[in-house]
Amino acid sequence: MTRLRATQGADGPAQVPSIYEAIWALVRQIPPGRVMTYGQVATLLGSPRGARAVGYAMFFVRGGDVPWHRVVNARGMISFGGEVDRPPLQREMLQAEGVRFDDSHRIVEFERCLWRPERVEVGPLAM
DNA sequence: TTCATGACGAGGT
DNA sequence: AACCTCGCCATGA
């Protein structure tokens, strides 16, 4: 599989594109105080170039069971400067978990904070 | 179905 | 190191 696919028509009317569920399932496993990059999530789901889609999925996170704040860009920075509400919130939530930022808004010891799961369990989409 | 859009990423200047 | 350009994917009109 080289592309993230929405298995909508498979069985029943997918209220939500299953691709979101798959992404959220993975993000839900990120431990507190650790982070993953959009590209990492995409890669683990079998689509190395789908980082952008992951970010798109984060935008639609609803409910409080998905730690969306633990997903940052490849440079260890918080993305989406367009809005004014969530970026500051994301930073605060991460700081509350012990993640620190330097003067240039980058995560301190970024490489060390990265969570690299050996095995991922995202249900039917697992590889 | 084609086209534009966006919480991204890699490579070149 | 900062910035620009182009490529990628899933969505929705």
* Residue A125 pLDDT class (50, 70, 90 cuts): very low
Run of H or E residues at A21: helix A18-27
- pTM, whole model, 2 decimals? 0.84
Q: Which nucleotide is nearest to A55 (CA to C1')?
A: B7
User: What does the pLDDT look like over A78-124, one tens digit per residue?
Assistant: 998 666 677 789 999 999 999 999 999 999 999 999 999 876 665 54
Q: Give the mean model confidence (pLDDT) for residues A35-48.
A: 96
CA gyration radius, chain A: 15
What mean pLDDT comes out for the span A10-35? 78
User: Confidence class of residue A3 from pLDDT cuts 50, 70 and 90?
Assistant: low
* Nucleotides on strand C lying under 7 Å from protein C-beta: 2, 7-12
